[in-house]
Homo-oligomer: A and B are copies of this chain.
Amino acid sequence: MILESALLDVLPGQEVDFLAALAEARPLIAAQRGFRSLELRRCLDDGRTSRFLLQVGWESLEDHTDGFRRSPEYRRWRELLHHYYDPFPMVEHYGEPLISA
């Protein structure tokens, strides 16, 4: 499983609306081929509580980049979510764990 990892800086004051929108958007991504898992966590550190960490597990990198991002569901995902972000998030992909404990 590979991990899509995105740091999402949400417009201050819109965190609750963002959480509702992501809950609404969740089935769009969970139905994609290769989808394995999703976790959204909120930053605990001082001055960064509008930041969220979204991590999505995919069977392969292409399931995200060629699959979900080119799907009709992604257009709706963008409509629901992208207007909450400032700046637009950095999205990265990471391989299987090399070291774990």
A binding-site residues for B, Cβ under 8 Å: 2-3, 5, 19, 22-23, 26, 29-30, 37-45, 48, 51-53, 61, 92-101
Contacts and interface: CB of A to CB of B under 8 A. Distances in A.
**How many identical chains are in the complex?**
2
Nearest to A23: B99
A80 to B, nearest CB: 13
29 contacts: A19-B98, A22-B99, A23-B99, A29-B101, A30-B101, A37-B101, A38-B100, A38-B101, A39-B97, A39-B99, A40-B97, A40-B98, A40-B99, A41-B96, A41-B97, A41-B98, A42-B98, A43-B92, A43-B93, A43-B94, A43-B95, A44-B61, A44-B94, A44-B95, A45-B92, A48-B92, A51-B92, A52-B98, A53-B92
